[in-house]
Amino acid sequence: MTRIVALSFAWLLFISGCTVQQSPRTPERPVESPVDRLLAAAEINYNNNQLTTPRDNNALQKYRAVLEQDPRNPSALDGLNRIVEKYLAWARDHAEDGNLTKARLYVARAETADPSHPNIKPVVNLINDREAQKTTLFTLRRQDVLERNTSRIAFDSIARHITNNRAFTTIRAPDDASGRWIYQELNARVPFRVEAAFEANNTPSVLLSR
Q: Bin 144: left if φ > 0, else alpha if -120 < ψ < 50, else beta.
A: alpha
Q: Assign 40 a pLDDT band (cuts: 50, 70, 90).
A: very high
Mean pLDDT taken over the chain: 88
Q: Assign 111 a pLDDT band (cuts: 50, 70, 90).
A: very high
The pLDDT tens digits for 137-164 are 899 999 999 999 999 999 999 999 999 9
Q: What type of residue sits at position 141? A: R
Return d(Cα 196, Cα 127) in angstroms, integer. 24
User: Peptide bond preceding 54: is omega within 30 degrees of 0, i.e. cis?
Assistant: yes
β-pair type (205-209, 135-139): antiparallel
Going from the N-terminus, what domains does the chain have, and what CATH number goes with each? 34-132 (1.25.40), 135-209 (3.30.1330)
Q: Which of 52-56, 81-85, 166-170 has the highest mean pLDDT?
A: 81-85
pTM above threshold 0.85: no
Query: Phi then psi for 206, rounded to 5 degrees?
Result: -130, 120
Percentage, residues of the chain above pLDDT 90: 73
Return the beta strands (E) in the chain as ranges: 135-139, 168-173, 196-200, 205-209
